[in-house]
Chain A
Amino acid sequence: DIDNVGRKYHLKLVLEDIVEKDNIVNCTAEILYHLDNTNAAPDVHFEIEGELKNTEEQDNIFYNRIKSLKKELVAQNIPDSHGNVPPEMEPIRLLAQAAAGYVVWQNSTENTRYELAQIKRVRQVKRSDDYLEFDYMVLLHEFVSQEIIPWQMTVLWHPQHGVKVTQNSRQPKHAEH
Chain B
Amino acid sequence: HQVLRIKASNEEQIQKLQLLETLEHLQLDFWLNPSSPALPVDVRIPFHNLQAVKVFLESNNIEYSILIEDLQVVLDEEKQDMAFSRQRERSTNTFDYGTYHSLASIYEELDNLAHEHSSIVSKLTIGESYEKRPLYVLKFSTGGTNRPAIWIDAGIHSREWITQASAIWIARKIASDYGSDPSVTSLLNKMDIFLLAVTNPDGYEFTHNENRMWRKTRSRNQGSLCIGVDPNRNWDAGFGGKFLLCSLSVPTGPGASSNPCSDSYHGPSANSEVEVKSVVDFIKNHGNTVAFLTLHSYSQLLMYPYGYKCTKPADYAELDSVGKAAASSIHSLYGTTFKVGNICSTIYQASGGSIDWSYDYGIKYSFAFELRDTGNYGFLLPASQIIPTAEETWLGLKTIMEHVRDNPY
CB proximity of B309 to chain A, nearest CB, Å? 17
**B103 interfacial contact with A, CB 8 Å:** no
Bound complex: CA of A143 vs CA of B212, how far in Å? 17
**Contact between A79 and B377, CB atoms less than 8 A apart:** yes
Question: Which of B245-253, B283-291, B319-327 is the interface stretch?
Answer: B245-253
Query: B225, B226, B263, B377: which contacts A83 (Cβ < 8 A)?
Result: B377
Q: How far is the CA of A117 from the CA of B99 in the complex (A)?
A: 20
**B257 partner residues in chain A, CB cutoff 8 A:** 145
Which residues in A have their C-beta under 8 angstroms from that of B118? none
A177 CA / B263 CA spacing, docked (Å): 11
- Bound-state CA distance A177–B227 (Å) is 5
22 A-B interface contacts by CB (under 8 A): A1-B249, A81-B380, A82-B100, A82-B382, A83-B381, A83-B385, A110-B250, A111-B250, A111-B254, A116-B375, A116-B378, A139-B213, A141-B213, A143-B347, A143-B348, A144-B255, A145-B263, A146-B230, A146-B264, A175-B225, A177-B225, A177-B227
Mask, A89-110, CB within 8 Å of B = 1, is: 0000000010000000000001
Nearest CB of chain B from residue A90's CB, rounded to whole Å:
11
Please give, as numbers and ranges, the residues of chain A lying within 8 Å of B99 by CB-CB distance.
82
Closest to A148 in B: B213
Check B53 for interface membership: any CB of A closer than 8 A. no
Q: How far is the CB of A111 from chain B (nearest CB, A)?
A: 5
| Interface contact A79-B382, CB-CB below 8 Å | yes
Chain B interfacial residues counted at CB < 8 A: 35
Residues of A within 8 A of B375 (CB): 115-116
Binding site for B on A (CB under 8 A): 1, 18, 79-85, 97, 110-111, 115-118, 139, 141, 143-148, 175-177
| Cα of A18 to Cα of B375 in the assembled complex, Å | 10
Q: Interface residues of B: mostly helix, strand, loop or mixed? A: loop
Work out how many contacts link A and B, with CB atoms closer than 8 A: 73
CB-contacts of B178-192 with A (<8 A)? none
B296: min CB distance to chain A, Å: 11
Q: How far is the CB of B118 from chain A (nearest CB, A)?
A: 32
Set B100, B225, B380, B382: member contacting A117, Cβ < 8 A = B380
How far, in whole Å, are A82 and B376 apart by their CA atoms in the complex? 14
User: Whole-angstrom distance from the CB of B249 to the nearest CB of chain A?
Assistant: 7
Contacts of B126 in A (CB 8 A): none
CB-CB under 8 A from A18, the residues of chain B are 376
Residues in A neighbouring B35, C-beta threshold 8 A:
none
Contact with A along B250-273 (1 / 0, CB 8 A): 100111010000111000000000
Question: Which of B230, B250, B379, B381 has most chain A Cβ within 10 Å?
Answer: B379
Task: Assess whether B383 is interfacial by the CB under 8 Å rule.
Answer: yes
Interface string of B381-402 (1 = CB under 8 A from A): 1111100000000000000000
